[in-house]
Amino acid sequence: MSNFLIPAAYAQTAGGSGGASGIMSFLPFVAVFAIMYFLLIRPQQQRQKQLKSELKALRRGDRIVTAGGVIGVVQRTKEESNEVEVEIAPNVRVMVMRETISTVLTSTAKPAND
């Protein structure tokens, strides 16, 4: 009856995990990180880089969407300023910060291939 309450103890091999098995147990973590990098992190970095270049090249007439979801047309930009004047309705203009622009819908700039 006393053996029923005490679990059996099994001996482990000496030296813990071997060198090859230690690397093999670490390999799945490396694989998961590589998959996450190529599926999530890298595409997001590329999108941020593209948005940054679009914001730098922002011109009058470009349609934009702000982080708040407001769609408007750029009326005036200043190179030295971080503010952009956007028309959100006929004769309604607001100043927004460049960082709050989340998407450039259309651009008046010609594509590089033309």
For the residues 26-52, what does the mean pLDDT come to?
Answer: 92
pLDDT of 49-95, one tens digit each? Answer: 999 998 888 999 999 999 999 999 999 998 888 999 999 999 999 99
Q: Which amino acid is at 113?
A: N
Q: Is the dihedral of CA 69, 73, 76, 79 positive or negative?
A: positive
Kind plus residue range of the DSSP H or E element containing 45: helix 42-56
**Could you tell me the CA-to-CA distances from 92 to 5, 53, 54, 98 in Å, in that order?**
80, 27, 24, 18
pTM for the structure as a whole:
0.61
pLDDT of 94-106, one tens digit each? Answer: 999 999 999 999 8
Kind plus residue range of the DSSP H or E element containing 7: none
The yes-or-no verdict on residue 19 having pLDDT over 80 is no
Domains assigned to the chain:
21-106 (2.30.30)
- Using CA atoms, how far apart are residues 14 and 24, in angstroms rounded to an integer? 19
Structure-token pair, residue 42: 């890298």
